[in-house]
Structure 1
Amino acid sequence: MTVTDFSSALHAAFDAPDPREAVNRIKNVVANELSQTDARATVKKTDFFNHSFAPDLVLSWPNERERFVFLKSDTRPNILRDDVEAIRKHDPIVFVLDPVVENPLITDETGPPVRSDDTLLADARGMEVLIHSRHAEPVVGLASSAVLQGGRGLLTAREAETMASSVAAGFNGAQHLDTASTAAAVTEISGHFDQRRTSRLLRFLGAVWVGSGGAVSNFPGEQDVTGDLDGTALEFLLELPPIEDYEFWRRIGRPLTLESISQLRVDSDSENLQYLVGSNLDVLHARACRILERQQELGESETSEFRWNIEREMLSLRGSRSITYFAAKVDELKVDAQEGDGISLQELLRRAEQRRIPISELELATPTRTVSYATVNRDDVAHDEELLKLSRTFSSTAYVQSAVASLFGSRPLVCDFPSRTGKGRTTAKFPLGAFAPTALSLLTSLTTGEQEALARVTRHYVEEQRQAALFSIDAIPTRQVSGSAPNLPSDRNEIEP
């Protein structure tokens, strides 16, 4: 909706013959304008209109405080000043239906000083500038969201244009370590948002600055920008046009956890999500996974590629024939298993051999018998002659129900084949870079193309391990399984069983 469209819709609303219907239409027009400014906001209409103390609209967000919106049609400075003074204790948004020509928050030298607070006085033109700017520069969407949550001061077209251009230039400046443009954005942000939103926006710029290779000490401004990115800021970063910089995403992602990523709301086609997860496979740890079969959707191209996705509040790895969900705890797997039979012993040994995965114990079952087979020292049982002899005594209906694989030589991964679920025994967790290919290789039968695609989607984990091994012989464990990724120290402590 352009300013002209907004004005036309507003005039049409005022012309409604029924006064109550006119009020409802006016609120709908403004609510639509606010929703376009921040699609994450929930806009609720109240039973009041142009009231001195009761809001016309209420904005809300998950885990954020509500914000009142008061609609005003009289733009005379003295009237507006009195209206703002009466409600400013709520730190509201005063949305003026006509353009604001003169700032009523500024008095002359003989008048009383204007109290500094977090009230936002805005008109439709200012909101429209933010709406159009976020389409041209997606990063402005972060600022427009922050405006509704904690914007302060005056927001007309001129202020909105300055804010949008400054935030866009500041993001570009932080990417290129341009001190001047980044400092200008810091100044602009500090003057137009409350303390909480100022801190968030500056942490966002600071994270981009550090992700681009800059030192925290050189970030312009006196504010503390060392905190982690909040979910909203990270979501906006992921929705930006692709940033094809492995080191950038690696620096951004070091403080993240699987739990924090799983809470993000990101489009399934986000290329930046692929970079973020793929660059941090060594610090994102999971304890459990579950694999479901899937059919290719209508219009979906036939490919064996795997892509990271977030759905049902879980990080997943989607392929052409399956989707694998990962969780930090077993009870956080929010999908029901597709129960089936186990697999044959020969099939298990074939899958384990493909990736040289040691199997320390397993359970065979027929309709009437169950046999558990294990080694004392967690050795690989795959080539035990005794096991092979035992399997021959069973009928062709014998299936492997579960098996325990040893990752990194010490952490047991329990694979349940009927439910295609893998989980660490006791408190064992695994980096996704090792967990994903191991679980998929054991719990499913991968084609050659899928094996190659799985190697590509986890390539940064493998490349990082190999690169470190060239310079740090001590980092390689003494007992390694040929063909598997070496176990190197990550930036956080592993949880041992």
Structure 2
Amino acid sequence: MTFVEALETAKDTRDRDAYIARVKAAVVRELSVLDSSVEIHDTHYFNHSAIPDLVVSWPKERGERNIYLRHSYEAIAASPSDAIDKTLDPVVLSLDTRHVADVTPGIDRQLQASPRALVTDPEAIDVLLNDDRRGSPLAGLVRANFIRGGKGHIDRPRAASLVGLNPTQLEGASGGSLVADLIGTSFSEDAAARITRTAQLVAVAMGEFPEQELGEPSALIGGKLSLAELRHLLPWLLNQPRAIANDRFWAYVGGMMSFADLEKIRENLEGVDVSPLIRANARRWSAKRAYLGLSTPVEGDETYLLRSNHWSFSTGALGIDIGESRLLLADNGKLIHARGGSSSATWLDIKDSLKGLKLARVELHGIRRSVTINAEQSDDVSGDVDEVTESLDDDYFVGEVAVRFSAPGDEPGSRDVDVLFGKSLVSGSKGAALADLVHLATSVLKFRAPLTDDQRLALISGVGESQT
């Protein structure tokens, strides 16, 4: 049932109280579908000249908007310009789309008095909700920002133009085109920037602006991508072959978000191959945990061991299959449940897998004595460990070892990461680069059958041998 049909059904009563309750219920339903994050408060007034009918807000965000319901466009055009509170960027919704008279002058007068107000109707909302381009990231952001940041008179034709936005019509991503003007006149500054930025990113990802040098000062809108932008942009782009092949684009996007952001929208990416993002940002992004466990069959797929390996959110945490093992990465520690146990490895078993790494701490447990060696005066205690194990006649087991890496990306300093053999876990309280977590998990934790350098490189860069 469309919004127009729902309102017609709601109005089909002679009981005033039932009429009001049913109309408001229909409006609330449609607004909630339009923006699932919105909270709607009923003021228990209806069609009052100055008091709104509904107030909308967004959890954990500042700001709200008043919703005024009016019986018709004629009623909106005829009302005094100062009848509604303009401080909260009001939304005025006509419950009827039929025009008995020319209402444009009256609506223009209202918008001149309140330039950030939104005047709209059920047909416009139906266009937004029922357009056949629901998969488009631009159409999704237009819907998500309509109540939050829409302004001006958005009727059915304008709504159709907004959900049909084509990012390739942006002139060199400069924002000076008719498309950018349409966005700017239909949304508040923040919402317009989000939608325009998504349009620019889509165009760049699809190779529409080959002259655009990513990462250099340009007309591209920078900054941090919001979770709303990521929810609409990434699932769509990660299913576009042309975008997937654009390696420079994924590195550029990686600078506008974090691995923690990706993890927060994991439900929107369930089963999607996110390898382009991970491989382009494995040395820039950080996470706090890596876990190496068994790869479980996919239901209905008995040949899961032969399937193509790729990074995906299929068990909550991000993971990739490595033969019969599955490697998981997480910034949110609750997404990874470590194996219970107290197993350990002998120093002789793991020393080769630690070559070339800086050791910050090693706990050696022998039959006759135990020794803990910490890097208090140096960055690396590898030599001290060799000296102890070679000079003392004992067989040493290692329950855990701490490895020191440079901080991810351009961050200063270093990070210590613990390898916990009994839990099959790699853990860094301050986080470490994804590439470093992968290195420890696939070489030190997997010391009995470590991956080769080429196999490990294939996991984090797409270059090298396929892993087995």
3-state SS in 2 of match to 1:139: helix
- Cα deviations across residues 183-234 of structure 1 (Å, max 9, x unaligned)? 1211111111122222322333344456655157774xxxx83434333223
TM superposition score normalised by structure 2: 0.75
Change (3 A) 1:408 1:93: closer
- Residues of 2 paired with 1:438 and 1:308: CA distance? 20
Instruction: Give the AA of the match of 1:246.
Output: D
The residue aligned with 2:363 is 363
User: SS where residue 418 of structure 1 aligns?
Assistant: helix
The match for 2:437 is 435
Normalising by structure 1, report the TM-score.
0.71
Change (3 A) 1:161 1:346: same
Asked if the contact 1:173/1:181 (under 8 Å) is kept, the reply is no
> Which residue, out of 116, 125, 147, partners 2:123?
125
Match of 2:147 in 1: 148
Secondary structure, counterpart of 2:253 in structure 1:
helix
Q: CA deviation at 1:82?
A: 0.6
User: In structure 2, what residue type is equivalent to 1:49?
Assistant: F
Query: Which residues in structure 2 correspond to 1:12-23 (within 5 Å)?
Result: 12-16=9-13, 19-23=16-20
Q: Distance in 1 between matches of 2:90 and 2:119?
A: 8
Shift of 1:337: 4.4
| Structure 2: distance between partners of 1:181 and 1:362 | 56
Provide the rounded CA distance (Å) in 2 between the counterparts of 1:280 and 1:124: 44
Q: Is 1:413 the equivalent of 2:417?
A: yes
How many residues align? The count is 434
Letter of the structure 2 residue corresponding to residue 23 of structure 1: I
Work out the CA distance in 1 between the residues paired with 2:90 and 2:29: 18
CA distance, structure 2, for counterparts of residue 179 and residue 306 of structure 1: 32
Alignment match, 2:188: 194
How do residues 366-377 of structure 1 correspond to structure 2 at under 5 angstroms?
A: 370-372=370-372
Check 1:369–1:47 CA distance in 2 against 1; reply closer, same or farther (3 A cut).
farther
CA–CA distance in structure 2, aligned partners of residues 367 and 86 of structure 1 = 86
Q: For the structure 1 residues 103 and 86, does the alpha-carbon distance in structure 2 shift closer, same or farther, using more than 3 Å as the test?
A: farther
User: How many angstroms apart in 2 are the aligned matches of 1:237 and 1:310?
Assistant: 20
Any gaps of 5 or more consecutive residues in structure 2?
408-413
**Residue identity opposite 1:149 in structure 2:** R
Q: Percent of counterpart pairs with the same letter?
A: 21
Task: Provide the residue aligned with 1:333 in structure 2.
Answer: 333
1:402 aligns with 2:406: no
- Report the CA distance between 1:308 and its aligned residue: 4.2
2:223 to 227, 230, 242: 227
Work out whether residues 72 and 98 of structure 2, in 8 Å CA contact, stay in contact via their aligned partners in 1.
no
Q: 2: CA distance between counterparts of 1:143 and 1:178?
A: 21
Distance (Å, rounded) in 2 between the aligned partners of 1:22 and 1:448: 70
Letter in 2 for 1:98: D
- The 8 Å contact of residues 46 and 53 in structure 2, kept in 1 or not, is answered as yes
Match of 1:95 in 2: 93
Code of the residue aligned with 1:193 in structure 2: it is F
User: Taking structure 1 as reference, are residues 22 and 233 closer, same or farther at Cα in structure 2, changes over 3 Å only?
Assistant: same
Q: Answer with 192-201 or 225-234: which moved more.
A: 225-234
CA contact (8 A) 2:405 2:416 kept: yes
Query: What does 1:83-482 correspond to in 2, within 5 Å?
Result: 85-89=82-86, 90-101=88-99, 104=103, 106-107=105-106, 114-133=112-131, 134-135=133-134, 137-165=136-164, 167=165, 169=166, 171-173=167-169, 183-208=177-202, 212=207, 213=210, 214-215=212-213, 219=219, 225-240=221-236, 241-242=239-240, 243-244=243-244, 245-264=246-265, 266-269=267-270, 271=272, 273-286=274-287, 288-291=288-291, 296=296, 299=299, 301=301, 302-303=304-305, 305-309=309-313, 316-317=318-319, 319=321, 322=326, 324-327=328-331, 333-334=333-334, 337-345=338-346, 348-349=349-350, 352=353, 361-365=361-365, 370-372=370-372, 378=380, 380=382, 384=386, 387=389, 393=395, 399-407=397-405, 412-424=416-428, 430-443=432-445, 455-460=457-462
Q: How far apart are the structure 2 equivalents of 1:112 and 1:407?
A: 61
Is it true that 1:26 corresponds to 2:28 in the alignment? no
Aligned to 1:283, what secondary structure does the other structure show? coil
Q: 1: distance between equivalents of 2:42 and 2:111? A: 34
**1:196–1:393 Cα change, 3 Å:** closer
Distance (Å, rounded) in 2 between the aligned partners of 1:179 and 1:23: 46
**In 1, Cα distance between the equivalents of 2:20 and 2:110?**
35
Larger deviation: 361-370 or 230-239? 361-370
The gaps in structure 1 that reach 5 residues or longer are: 464-497
